[in-house]
Structure 1
Amino acid sequence: MGLTHAKDRLPSPLHPSWGYEIEKGGTTMWERWNSIMPDGEFGPVDMNSFNHYAYGAVGDWMFQNIGGLSTVEPGYKRSRIAPVPGGDLTRGSGSLHTVHGCSPRAGPTATASSP
Structure 2
Amino acid sequence: MPSSHSAAVSALSTAIGIESGLSSPLFAISAIFSIVVMFDASGIRYQAGQQAIVINQMHKDFQTLIIKAKALPEKNSDEKIEDLKTLLGHRPIEVFFGCLTGIIYPFLFILLSKKIDNRMWII
TM, length-normalised to structure 1:
0.28
Q: Name the one with the larger helix percent.
A: 2
Select the structure that is richer in strand. Answer: 1
TM-score, normalised with respect to structure 2:
0.26
Q: Based on CA coordinates, which of the two structures has the bigger radius of gyration?
A: 2
The structure whose RCO (Cα within 8 Å, separation 6+) is larger is 2
